A and B are shown apart, each in its own frame.
Chain A
Amino acid sequence: MFFQQIKVDERTRSNTRYAAAIWLGVTQILLAAVIFYRLYALGQVDEEIRDFQAVLAISIFGYLALQLFLGGVMPIPTWRGVVLTYLILSGSIVSGCLAFYGWPQLEDWANTWLPALLGPAIIVAAYTLVAKLGQRRIERQIEDMSD
Chain B
Amino acid sequence: MKGQKLQNRLKLARVESDLTQSQLADRVGVTRQTIGLIEAGGYNPTLKLCIRFARVTNKTLDELFWTQGDEDVFPADKS
| Chain A proximity of B75: nearest CB distance (Å) | 31
Main secondary structure of the interface of A (DSSP, over half): helix
Whole-angstrom distance between the alpha carbons of A10 and B33 in the complex?
A: 12
Q: Is B30 an interface residue (CB 8 A)?
A: yes
Q: Is B21 an interface residue (CB 8 A)?
A: no
A-B residue pair count with CB separations less than 8 angstroms: 20
**Chain B interface size range:** 10 to 19
**Chain A interface size range:** under 10
| Chain A proximity of B76: nearest CB distance (Å) | 30
Q: Is A141 an interface residue (CB 8 A)?
A: no
Q: Is A12 an interface residue (CB 8 A)?
A: yes
Q: Using CB atoms and an 8 Å cutoff, list the residues of chain B in contact with chain A.
A: 29-31, 33-34, 37, 43, 45-46, 48-49
Q: Using CB atoms and an 8 Å cutoff, list the residues of chain A in contact with chain B.
A: 7, 9-12
